[in-house]
Amino acid sequence: MLWIVPGMERSFLSPLRVGCIPGVGSKSALELKCMGIHTVAQLSKVPLEWLEQAYGKRGASLYFKARGVCESPVVSGKKRSRSISRETTLKKDSIDPRYLKSIFSYLVEKVLSQLREENLHARSVTLKLRYSDFKTVTRCHTLRESTDDDGVVFREIFDLFKKLFVKRTRIRLVGVSLSSLIHRRFQQTGLFDQASFEQRGRLLRSIDDIRDKYGFHAILRAGSICDNKK
């Protein structure tokens, strides 16, 4: 553990590369470097108005983080006793697997986007279904390894759905939840898998950067449908 004496935050942060700031992905770091901003010290000199214009609401966060100011609570340990979830009531009760699959896809994108925004990874995924007769069922699955990948979570959620969808009763509400959240993930990959793993991570961070700048619905999976944009 590294202890930073109060009042010394800026002097500690100043020589660091901008990519060290939480929330600055590889694409954002490259954009800043192209503008001659390589270090946190250089970023701290950029006006708040300029950052907000360039990065939207995330600009204010970058402005204050570069100055060593952050209102987020300090969390110790690797695990957090919380979960991230999204659910939606369908406009019309449905029994169509393809339509329901598209709703799952959208909800997975929402929860994973928040997961990565908070620099977390999940080990457990939960699917919630409420039928037209108001009976509610949930099923949870624990992954072998924690993840922040939309594709991994979507496959698990859809597998749970196929096991639950046996009544052939119309569904009125669906929900997706992530739990067993940790700050760091231990990902054991083979020598030839590592490049693919890192490439996938860069892709997801690029998608997050686009959403931060233009809004969540600026980019979605082709199969995602949102009944209620919340």
pLDDT tens, position by position, 104-140 = 988 998 999 888 888 889 999 999 999 998 899 999 9
Strand extents, DSSP E, the chain: 79-80, 84-94, 121-131, 136-147, 171-182
pLDDT in tens, 145-169: 899 888 899 999 999 998 888 767 8
pTM over 0.75: no
Domains and CATH numbers, the chain: 9-65 (1.10.150.20), 79-186+204-218 (3.30.1490.100)
pLDDT mean over 208-222: 65
| Residues 6+ positions from 164 with CB-CB distance below 8 Å | 127, 129, 137, 139
Among the listed ranges 10-19, 30-39, 216-225, which one has the minimum average pLDDT value?
216-225
Dist. CA 143–CA 133, nearest whole Å: 31
* Residues 90, 173 contacting (CB under 8 angstroms): yes
User: In terms of Cα–Cα distance, which of 43, 54, 36, 53 is closest to 14?
Assistant: 43
User: In terms of Cα–Cα distance, which of 123, 197, 190, 118 is closest to 156?
Assistant: 123
Question: What three-state secondary structure class fits 113?
Answer: helix
Higher pLDDT, 188 or 82: 82
| Residues 6+ positions from 207 with CB-CB distance below 8 Å | 219
User: In terms of Cα–Cα distance, which of 72, 100, 67, 119 is closest to 172?
Assistant: 100
